[in-house]
Amino acid sequence: MLRRVMDLNLRRWLGAAAAALTLGLAPTSASPPAAAPGVHAGAAILMDAATGQVLLSDHAYRQMDPASTTKMMTAYLVIRAGGLQRTVSVSRRAALTPGSRMRLHTTDRYSLMDLLRGLLLPSGNDAAVALAEAESGSVPAFVEEMNRTARALGAYQTHFVNPNGLTARGHYSSAYDLAVIARAALALPVFQHLVSTPADRVTELRRGQSRLLHNSNRLLEAFPLVDGVKTGTTSAAGPCLVASATAGGTQLIAVVLNAPHRWQAAARLLHWGFRHWHRHTWLEAGRAVLRLPVAGGAAAWVPLVPRRTLATLVPDGPRTLAEVRTSGVGSVAAPVRRGQPLGRATVVVEGTLAGARTLVAGRAVARRRRPPRRLPFWPWVTGGRR
């Protein structure tokens, strides 16, 4: 969480290889932000879905049993692979999977999309096995892909043994890792739609029977801003919840593990985040960060602009110290083309890296034209003699 400072210093320097700029960009509220809410849980975290910025962390890297929040990774892999209208025949192994169920039977036929509904709404352990077998041919092969993907996403405190979260030796994750996985999955429109749906119908295709499935996430109806994500409960893990909510274009992800009052705990985190934090733009796409000298150019300098906007959440209250450090060449030779990469801007907020953006030329600069060569003046004499 960001520290507050009483004042904002201004520093700027430009060298041959690097430049740094401290900017006076900060909230202006005179009263300090409210203290972080107390949450009774084994681990908890609040994260900005857009940037991955952590607003609150309590034992967030502790390895714990994730229970059915595991199914976020299962859904992520299946949705990313595509072909969701493909039909799947349910195996005996899937149909006999214990715990929370979609109520599959051997030889039932469902589309992958309906199995995803059974996975994410009623938290079907049987649906998880059916999806794993459909995607990778076997559960062990699918679990290997789960673990490879977890590492690729940066979820280094995670190791999966099964696709559904049933208690097993060596099956663990952390609040931070689950927030990272949720963030990646929420970027998929299909996943976002499914986890925000209170109830939906599925159809068994062999018999043509349709039935209604209800979402186990009670916050979808209790908290108007909530739009996901996944519940999890086992005797080993206790009550767990990954919850997301969106307000004013900002989506927050709250994770509570082994939380006796998970609904209240997650809602308290989300409410605190929306009430006491707001988004601030540090770098705006197309807006000059600095000017770079151009040697031999029709113009003396070229503006360097970020390709993409960089904004983070900042707490309401006293000013926040932010530094934009720019690195690159000290000058550039003409011609310069518009959009040419010429540097990089790194934003550090209260000593913590907030993000970085490539800096490009904001306009084209042609070579400076040389003046036309003048012929020497000769006094011409009548008759052609000099």
For residues 352 and 370, what is the distance between their CA atoms, to the nearest angstrom?
49
* pLDDT of the residue at 29: 33
Contact, 327 vs 13, CB < 8 A?
Answer: no
Query: How many CA atoms within 13 Å lie on the side-chain side of 37?
Result: 21
- In this prediction, what percent of the chain has a pLDDT beyond 90? 78
The CATH number corresponding to 12-29+281-361 among 3.60.20.10, 2.60.410.10, 3.40.50.720, 3.40.980.10 equals: 2.60.410.10
More reliable by pLDDT, 365 or 37: 365
The SS3 of residue 71 is helix
Q: Which two tokens stand for residue 285?
A: 């796409």
Q: Does 68 participate in catalysis according to the annotation?
A: yes
Question: Secondary structure of the chain: what % helix, strand, coil (to 5)?
Answer: 25, 35, 45
Q: What is the pLDDT of residue 377?
A: 59
Report the phi/psi class of residue 123: left, alpha or beta, with left for phi > 0 and alpha for psi in -120 to 50: left
71 is catalytic: yes
Tokens representing residue 228 in the block: 């996901």
What the block records as the tokens of 2 is 């960001």
Residue bearing the bigger pLDDT, 383 or 77: 77
How many residues in the chain? 386
pLDDT greater at residue 375 or residue 275 = 275
Strand partners, 311: 281
Residue 215 DSSP code: -
When pLDDT is averaged across residues 156-164 and rounded to a whole number, the result is: 98
pLDDT value for 126: 98
**Structural tokens at position 153:** 């996403």
- Name which residue leads in pLDDT, 303 or 2: 303
- Tokens 């040419």 belong to residue: 340
Query: Span 182-201, mean pLDDT?
Result: 98
| pLDDT at residue 190 greater than cutoff 60 | yes
Q: Which two tokens stand for residue 162?
A: 């099964």
Question: Known catalytic residue: 57?
Answer: no
C-alpha span between 101 and 112 (Å, rounded): 16
316: confidence class by pLDDT, cuts 50, 70, 90? confident
pLDDT of 319 higher than 50: yes
Helix H or strand E segment including 38: none
Distance CA 202, CA 206 (A): 12
Residue 252 tokens, joined? 């927050």
**What pairs with residue 374 in β-bridges?**
none
The residue that leads in pLDDT, 375 or 341, is 341
pLDDT tier for residue 36 given thresholds of 50, 70 and 90:
confident
* Domain residue spans of the chain: 12-29+281-361, 43-260
Q: Which one is catalytic: 29, 31, 57, 68?
A: 68
Record the tokens describing residue 123, joined without a space.
């938290």
31-40, 253-262, 291-300, 303-312: least confident range? 31-40
Contact between 191 and 107 (Cβ < 8 Å) = no
- pLDDT tens digits along 63-90: 999 999 999 999 999 999 999 999 999 9
Note the pLDDT of residue 125: 98
Q: How confident is the model at residue 383 (pLDDT cuts 50, 70, 90)?
A: low
Spot the catalytic one: 91, 100, 123, 136.
Answer: 123
Question: pLDDT confidence of 178, banded at 50, 70, 90?
Answer: very high
Q: Residue 19: which pLDDT band, with cuts at 50, 70 and 90?
A: very low
Burial of 255 per CB tally in 10 Å (0-12, 13-18, 19+): buried
Strands (E), 29-180: 43-48, 54-58, 87-89, 109-111
Burial 112-136 (b: 16+ CB within 10 A, else e): bbbbbbbbbbbbbbbbbbbbbbbbb
The rounded percent of the chain whose pLDDT value lies above 70 is 88
Helices 71-81 and 175-186 sit at what angle, rounded to 10 degrees? 30
CATH of domain 43-260: 3.40.710.10
- Among 71, 91, 100, 173, the active-site one is 71
Q: Report the pLDDT averaged over residues 320-347.
A: 90
Give the whole-angstrom CA distance, residue 385 versus residue 247: 90
Q: What band does 379 get if pLDDT is binned at 50, 70 and 90?
A: low
pLDDT tens-place string over residues 346-362: 998 878 888 899 999 99
Mean pLDDT of the chain: 88
The C-alpha R_g of the chain, in whole angstroms, comes to: 29
pLDDT at 350: 79
